[in-house]
Amino acid sequence: VSATVSAPALPSTRYWGGAHGSGPADAALVLPLILVSQMLGMPLGPVLERFMGPRLTAALGALMMGSGVMLASSATALLPFVLSYSLLFGLGVGIAYQMPFITGARWFPSSKGMVTGAIISGMGAAAFLFNMLATRIVNPQGVNAVGGVFPPEIYARWPGLLRTLAAVYICLSLTGAMLQSNPP
């Protein structure tokens, strides 16, 4: 599961308003740091899989992903938000991301390209669907920003959105982790 934070929808006063940061420019750090963390976690997945197997490795990544988003929901400053959302979530995605590729290639050694394409397509579709879900949760009436700022009630839904997404991520990714197994 891939999730991104849209900089315009971030509640700037909660994390980096005033003297604590430079505002929206700080928000632009969140996505690149998720991607860096994910790339750092990707080589760890196969290493952990050798010791723990694909199911437990995927479960570890799933729990890291969900925990990172859940912890981010209670952050009140940029640094704890980035550490939990960008670092912990990103590492978890990177670790868990490798397991379907590894097990899929083992189950279908003559169709590795098809397996890889199906997994990547599924992840892209998930990002598309979760973007719509997150938007519906945080801004159910589709209110537009005025001068780049949303009404306070939109920002007030931000922690709840993160908690909801964390719960969904944990449920779906743990279900996926339990389906990971090596062929007999």
pLDDT digits (tens, 9 = 90+) for 92-113: 999 999 999 999 999 999 999 9
> Against a cut of 0.85, is the pTM above it?
no
Type of residue at 147: G
> 30-61 b/e with 16+ CB inside 10 Å = b?
bbebbbebbeebbebbeebbeeebbbebbbbb
Question: What average pLDDT does the chain have?
Answer: 86
Cα 61-4-33 angle, rounded to 5 deg: 70
The predicted pLDDT at position 24 comes to 56
- Summarised one tens digit per residue, pLDDT across range 51-90 is 999 999 999 999 999 999 999 999 888 888 888 999 999 9
- Please tell me which residue, 101 or 149, carries the higher pLDDT value: 101
